[in-house]
Amino acid sequence: MSAGSMPKGFVYLHDVDPSIQQDMRYAGSNNFTRRPVPGYDAAECVLVREAADALKAAQAELEPLGLSLKVYDCYRPTQAVAAFVEWSKEPDDPIAKLEHYPDLPKSALFPEYIATRSSHSRGATVDVTIAPLGSSPEASAGEDGVPCTSAQPSDNSLDMGTGFDCFDPKANTDSPDLTPEQQRNRKLLVDIMSRHGFKNYPKEIWHYTFEPEPHPDTYFDFPIRQRPADDTP
């Protein structure tokens, strides 16, 4: 579907549940391309209403535990997916490689880790983790060149064994290369998301699709724009 305004049935997650943390990586340079990605004109999570409502229900289950969902990516315009494909043709950036695919060649990323047609473009897929309630959703500055497979998370998320967009077998949901704490954190995320209608993509612990999808065969390309300001004083 061509670019344009946000279609009916899509919502800003902030309008459904502002307590869910947002760290929208592709709207800035803290991602594997190391630059803002086309189509992300604002750092906003946009989803179909059904998926956003399901995240709100999952958040309500986490809050009594002192925890919060944190989203890295939601709806993804098809122009962003095309930009990822073009990025794959560029020479390796040594820092990006070390941070996001330390043990794989770029050629191995498609389609195992980066799809040429992404379920995110259908509006019901979200990249998500868990963080302490009330903590800052922003990634720490850290040091360039720290592998995503390192022991400590580079942001405020619970330790899942890898960072976000870590293109590595260790990011597989059932990876055996995990500590007991990392296994517990992953199980908590998978269990809560599955209870609220989300199916995990087994190669990425952070990747979930709400089912049944409202638009299973439609790939949207409207840009993500800034959420309108609240009218209330």
Residue of 50, 204, 211, 213 with catalytic role:
204
- The pair of structure tokens assigned to 42 is 């604002």
Query: For residue 155, what is the DSSP state?
Result: S
- The pair of structure tokens assigned to 142 is 């850290």
180-189's contacts with Cβ under 8 Å and 24+ in sequence apart are 185/130, 185/158, 185/159, 185/160, 186/160, 186/161, 188/130, 188/158, 189/128, 189/129, 189/130, 189/160
Q: Under a CB-based contact definition with an 8 Å cutoff, are residues 193 and 220 in contact?
A: no
Q: Under a CB-based contact definition with an 8 Å cutoff, are residues 132 and 156 in contact?
A: yes
Q: How far is CA 171 from CA 80, 207, 232, in A?
A: 22, 10, 42
Q: Which residue has the tokens 């209330």?
A: 232
204 is catalytic: yes
Cis peptide before 111 (omega within 30 of 0): yes
The catalytic residues are 204
